[in-house]
Structure 1
Amino acid sequence: MLIAVLGYLTRWICDDALIFTRIVEQILSGNGPVYSAGERAETSTSALWQWLLALAGFVSGNTDTSAISWMLGLALTAGGFALAVAATRRLHDRPGTWLLPVGVLILLALHPVWQYATSGLETGLNTFWMAACWWLLVRARGNTSGKAITGAALVIGLGPLVRPEQALVAAVFLVALWLLTRPGRRVTLAAAGAAAALPLGYEIFRMGYYGVLVPMPAITKNADASRWARGFTYLTDFADPYLLWIPLVPVTVVLARLLRRTRADRSGLLVTLTPVVAGLLLLGYVLKVGGDYMHARMLLPSLFLVLLPVLVLPRSRTTGVLTLVVVVWAPLCAGLARYREEPAAVRSIDDERAYYQAWTGREYPTDSTDFTPRQRNLQDAVADAVNSGRRVLIYQGPHNEIITAPLRADLPGKAAVLGVYLGTVGMLAPVDVGIVDFWGLSNPIGARFAFPEGKPGHAKPLSNAWLVADYAAPEAPTSPAGNFVFRDEVTPAQVAAARHALNCGDLAEVQRSTREPLTLKRFWANLTGAWHRTQVTIPPDPFEAERKFCGRP
């Protein structure tokens, strides 16, 4: 009840949530899980959240699922908390023993937990899935039937579809499930098949449909990179404002004592260790890749996992002292602790809710209509192009002026619009108008640019040379005196080099994999070439790209 109330009091959605909304609109319009019709790019990181929203939109008859997303996220968060606490109660339940709230109060005291109970992103689904895995593992101690084990494996195996990095957590829970139940060969094979069926099936679909191994944002953010220093900065950015060490140090001591006491109980020790190991592995991955640009968001799942065995604890002298520490800290944290952002040039980590409150001018931005007024000039330009039948590329200049250029004849869509706020721009345009992503989250070219240090997801701007070369008609102006001056000036030589590179080697194959009609032949080519295609990187400089892909000296 508390997390439902606190989540409701801080309800919101972010621009990234509208990315899911746009994809749902395309699915329900019959264009498939894409952001722009005719260009197969997987823009959403959570496949399961995308399809849950599509189902909700289909059932409700509403293609705009922006409001549904925060409500569904809040319901899943509240359900996840209830399920997690129920499982921990079952783990520690002994006749005549009182249970004290410890870990759950730590979670409830943190503002980021309240905020990401909604947001329109997959965090609520993530919370519910982790809680379900925990509940099923605890339940498996007393139910080792083949059906129960197979059903648990099916749910745990959904991890990669919740978020790709949750494959780590799913693997730990699956190993623990097998060690806990020790099923025979037949049940083991059935459980393995159940766990792998949906993720493997979807991965085959992803490779054949999109032509890559991972969602496009993973390529954009270089999810295999190592940026440990930034990762530890991201960790302290979360821990310091809330003085998290005050409750976590004694919780760690109590957890260690709990593990020591359960050494004789093999199953109890295994169950207790599982979410802790999974949480630490997930934390390690987040630190390795450098965290995120959203304050605390990527660390909340790790904290939730590590606290699962101590959400509630049996009353004792030690747990009584710990509970007292948490009870004193929690209201002070909830009431007084606030995140203070440093200048973007210092750490590039944002309080996203505060940002979009300021950007939209709404205390509770919970619908796509709260975002679109800030881009009204773009919306009017798109409507004018569609109504007049002019096939143009539309974007804003350095002073927010509207700039247009003829669209390439071979591109689908009535028009195309460049999106800096990708989700918001997607809400301005009908599904038959293409969206050109400035930051590369849905752009197969920009996503593959060499990765510079900077804000994750915002470090690969699509330069004007590539914009003109890929989307504008040959007669579009390309001189410095022309219209294309949004971020940089562009010369005819740069555009010519970019156009040439787009038709050579691996870069031409990237284009074909996303834009050619999806025949069986194309699906097979995408599937078999997905590994190599995922590794392709593109120099942002058109001349370097031309040399790399076309061999021009």
Structure 2
Amino acid sequence: MAAAALLVAVLGYLTRWICDDALIYTRAVEQILAGNGPVYNIGERAETSTSALWQWLLALAGFVFRQPDTSMISWVLGLVFTAAGVGLAVDATSRLHNWRNTTVLLPCGVLVLLGLRPVWEYATSGLETGLNTFWMAASWWLLVRLRERSSTKATLFTAFTIGLGPLVRPDQALVAAVFLAALWLAVRPGWHLTLGAAGAAGTLPVAYEIFRMGFYGIIVPMPALAKNAGESMWTRGFAYVADFAGPYLLWLPLAVLMVVFARLLHCLKSRRTDLTLALAPVAAGALHLAYVVKVGGDYMHARMALPALFLVLLPILVVPRSRTAGAIAVVVMVWASLCAGLWRYPAVDGSVRGIDDERAYYVAWTGSSHPTDSATYVRKLQGLKDVVTAEAGSGHRSLIYHGLGPANDIITTSIRTGITERGMVVGVYLGTAGMLAPIDVGIADFWGLANPIGSRFEFPTAKPGHSKPLGNAWLLADYADPATPPHPSGNFAVSGTVTSEQVIAARHALSCGDLAEIQRSVREPLTFKRFWDNLTGAWHRTRVTIPPDPFEAERKFCGRP
């Protein structure tokens, strides 16, 4: 247990980093610590944090350490959670196998985790991956622990911990459901304890969901809308899994370990509770992987496949010693050594890819071998930061955009009345833009992760989270002073030039029907009536989609022929 945790900690430290998406959490935490609530912009209630629990843990850490910029804290805390999670998981598996305290155990599945570079890299990253690993491991440990002490208190605490899954990540509701079923089968509680366990598991997630619906006006975090998390994209999903497994020949150790798992199930067939516990994480991992494949995977190499891998390996992280197990452990150790030392995901070459090695990309972009704080990222957009500081300091209320071309042109125009922020910055790198701007300068998210309009665009998903550009017409219609004519430069946004007619149509569409209600749900003061209207209309609001063409949107929401 100690060796596994230490090795993961060392390897994670050697590849430490944070990504631009981690800075999205940092900006939201800054707003919380400033007293503005869990928002990205002061004047707009948008839930940009996929993991509610990670966001609030970072806020707690920032409060304790008096540090509103939690970018450094995020990778350190992620590494601690990952190492502790791997250690807990190994200990739980040891307890499952060593039920008589006489069995010698061999490392097996844990070698797969130690050999994979993506496991090291996502031990940090600033995202919720470390918390995710720790939650899965803690749930597994508590389930196994119930074999030794299945008191009412232990059962309720286990149910409560498992119930945190949807707050760790919404997709972990699938894993939590499997683990709760395993808890019931292992304990076989009476109906009083069953109801108590259900209450312990569900109270906090249900309460937070009610808060989410009333505060934000939708039923899922906004990135789920931007990434079309309800769609079925099986072909892309299978390609995502192959993209993870292929470079590391991952099929080889998994195929060999199937022999170990089959032998384990045979040995446990007379111990029904242990058999249930051994099957639970494998079933949970298969279900989670099926979901990841269904929604088309992710744009980050390996990230969304790692939880499923961790889950299916849990029962065989260590295994009882035998001749067969010894031979298989040697094979896996050889594979892990080759994988760790030789095999790499294709390096960043500057081409546009649907799946990226995010760490390699940001190491190249920032010029730092270990980009671990917001300052490293902000330096890349120093020119934009200087303009934002100058505009905000001068009292000008401007919409500011930096181009993506070689010149990185920076364009400003006046913002409309009614916007509470001192200015607005169009954020292509959303996290970095959020950190270079003061918290009272708003961020107009170009990709829809933090934008109630762009997140609902009817674009097909080519690259999750990067498929819904908020074009010039919508940017100007929503934020710019109507008296200001559209800027003719194609550098103003990726989508190119814009006409006055497009801006007028987009502005009209924003004032009609569901679009107007979406705007009110996030921008009106949060009175009790607004909370209730948000709560009762959350389901409908979540399902609204918007044609990206302003004229089509105007026809859909305003009825204009």
TM-score (norm 2): 0.97
2-11 or 389-398, larger mean C-alpha shift: 389-398
Q: Displacement, 1:260? A: 2.3
* 1:83 aligned onto 2:98: no
* Alignment match of 2:44 (pick from 36, 39, 47): 39
Separation in 1 of the partners of 2:92 and 2:464? 36
85-94 or 140-149, larger mean C-alpha shift: 140-149
Q: Cα gap change, 1:242/1:533 in structure 2, threshold over 3 Å: closer, same or farther?
A: same
* Aligned amino acid, residue 149 of structure 1: T
Q: How does 1:13-28 map to 2 (within 5 A)?
A: 13-28=18-33
* Alignment match of 1:194 (pick from 180, 200, 207): 200
Instruction: Give the structure 2 partner of residue 499 of structure 1.
Output: 507
310-319 or 484-493, larger mean C-alpha shift: 484-493
Q: How does 1:466-545 map to 2 (within 5 A)?
A: 466-478=474-486, 480=488, 484=492, 487-545=495-553
Separation in 2 of the partners of 1:328 and 1:159? 35
SS in 2 for 1:435: strand
Q: How does 1:157-176 map to 2 (within 5 A)?
A: 157-176=163-182
* Alignment match of 1:401 (pick from 409, 421, 434): 409
Count residues in correspondence. 553
Q: Cα gap change, 1:258/1:185 in structure 2, threshold over 3 Å: closer, same or farther?
A: same
SS in 2 for 1:497: helix
Q: Deviations over 1:103-138 (max 9, x none)?
A: 101100000000000000000000000000100110
Q: Cα gap change, 1:175/1:120 in structure 2, threshold over 3 Å: closer, same or farther?
A: same
Q: Deviations over 1:526-550 (max 9, x none)?
A: 0000000000000000000000000
Instruction: Give the structure 1 partner of residue 299 of structure 2.
Output: 293
* Aligned amino acid, residue 172 of structure 1: V
Q: Deviations over 1:252-308 (max 9, x none)?
A: 122122112212211011000000000000000000001000000000000000000
Separation in 1 of the partners of 2:180 and 2:166? 13
Instruction: Give the structure 1 partner of residue 152 of structure 2.
Output: 146
Q: How does 1:100-499 map to 2 (within 5 A)?
A: 100-340=106-346, 347-397=353-403, 398=405, 399-478=407-486, 480=488, 484=492, 487-499=495-507
SS in 2 for 1:165: helix
Do 2:348 and 2:361's aligned partners in 1 also have CA atoms closer than 8 Å?
A: no
Instruction: Give the structure 1 partner of residue 3 of structure 2.
Output: none
How well do the aligned residues superpose, as a CA RMSD in angstroms? 1.3
SS in 2 for 1:364: coil
SS in 2 for 1:212: coil
* Aligned amino acid, residue 550 of structure 1: C
Separation in 1 of the partners of 2:305 and 2:460? 23
Separation in 2 of the partners of 1:421 and 1:360? 12
Q: Cα gap change, 1:340/1:115 in structure 2, threshold over 3 Å: closer, same or farther?
A: same
TM-score (norm 1): 0.98
Q: Deviations over 1:76-125 (max 9, x none)?
A: 00000110000000000034321000010110000000000000000000
The runs of 4+ residues in structure 1 deviating greater than 6 Å are 342-346
Q: Displacement, 1:149? A: 0.5
Identical columns (%): 68
* Aligned amino acid, residue 466 of structure 2: H
Separation in 2 of the partners of 1:343 and 1:551? 47
Q: Displacement, 1:223? A: 0.4
30-39 or 253-262, larger mean C-alpha shift: 253-262
Do 1:477 and 1:484's aligned partners in 2 also have CA atoms closer than 8 Å?
A: no
Q: Deviations over 1:335-356 (max 9, x none)?
A: 0010015878785110000111
**Structure 2: which 5+ residue stretches go unaligned?**
1-5
Do 1:479 and 1:492's aligned partners in 2 also have CA atoms closer than 8 Å?
A: no
146-155 or 479-488, larger mean C-alpha shift: 479-488
Separation in 2 of the partners of 1:95 and 1:220? 51
Q: Deviations over 1:139-167 (max 9, x none)?
A: 11122211110000000000000000000
SS in 1 for 2:540: helix
**Structure 1: which 5+ residue stretches go unaligned?**
none
